[in-house]
Amino acid sequence: MGMEGVVERATRPARVSEPFIDLAGVQKTYRMGRLDYPALRGIDLEIGAGELVAIVGPSGSGKTTILNLVAGIDRPTAGTVSVGGRRIDTMREEELAVWRGEHVGVVFQFFQLLPTLSALENAVLPLDFARRGSKRERFWRARQNLALVGLGDKADHLPAELSGGEQQRVAIARALAADPELIVGDEPTGNLDTVTAAEMFELFKRLNGEGKTVLYVTHDRELAARAHRVVSIRDGVVVAA
């Protein structure tokens, strides 16, 4: 299903009064040796439930830091981060890990599949860690997610036996394990060719159409332009949203 030359902005849902994602006065400073590096310098950003949002900006601008804060992978130095009406920046580590496992699916640029496990075994991992349901139920859900991303016939293949696009589809199936409300992608198409990247975006758009909020970082201006909204970051601040 090649999508070359097609630029289509997804239909934006109506905003509700309370944002699904709310970053207020967010700062993030990393300690590098004896120096402090300010990655975010005071971010205010609201994203509504069901939006499909692209984050763009130069390397080092703070895009991935925002994604990590929203996904509960990192914590702000100052400010507040709320997702789904909950302050995730104040959660204890154990509470945050449980929240993340239930509410967020993360898709990375380099897939991060375990090479000795089959596609099915990779897709079932989050459910195994969460001990959700019986083993039979977990594998049934993982098979359903592989079928959803078009890999129902390759469940027994190892990552090395799959193309880059297929590996990324397995990573998306893994991200969908707990049926999360929020999907975040850190350059999810950055390691793929143009046609396969467009196919990946179509899958994100389909998931968004089913009600999931999707937030992704990309350097691809064409893919960014298809989102409901593009948030531009430069030098740790929002310059356009």
Please enumerate in sequence order all residues whose Cβ is within 8 A of that of 145, keeping only pairs 6 or more positions apart, or say none: 123, 173, 174, 176, 177
- For 21-240, the fitting CATH number among 3.60.15.10, 3.40.1160.10, 1.10.10.10, 3.40.50.300 is 3.40.50.300
Average pLDDT over residues 135-149: 92
At residue 16 the predicted structure's pLDDT band, cuts being 50, 70 and 90, is: very low
Q: Where are the alpha helices (DSSP H) in the chain?
A: 63-70, 93-103, 119-130, 135-148, 164-175, 194-209, 221-225
Contact 197, 185 (CB under 8 A): no
At residue 5 the predicted structure's pLDDT band, cuts being 50, 70 and 90, is: very low
Q: How far is CA 29 from the centre of its chain?
A: 22
pTM (predicted TM-score): 0.87
Alpha carbon distance 182, 109 (integer Å): 17
Contact 113, 171 (CB under 8 A): yes
- Specify the DSSP class assigned to residue 13: P
Decide: helix, strand or coil at residue 30. Answer: strand
What average pLDDT is seen over the chain? 89
First to last CA, the chain: 31
Alpha carbon distance 77, 121 (integer Å): 37
- For 218-235, what is each residue's pLDDT tens digit? 988 888 999 999 999 999
Take residue 122 and report the two structure tokens written for it. Answer: 């990779």
Give me the half-sphere count of Cα atoms (radius 13 Å) on the Cβ side of residue 7: 6
Alpha carbon distance 185, 56 (integer Å): 12
The domains of the chain are located at: 21-240
Output the pLDDT for position 7.
46
- For 72-117, what is each residue's pLDDT tens digit? 999 999 999 999 999 999 999 999 988 998 899 999 888 889 999 9
* Residue 206 burial (CB count, 10 A): 12
Angle at which helices 135-148 and 119-130 pack, to 10 degrees?
130
Contact 47, 20 (CB under 8 A): yes
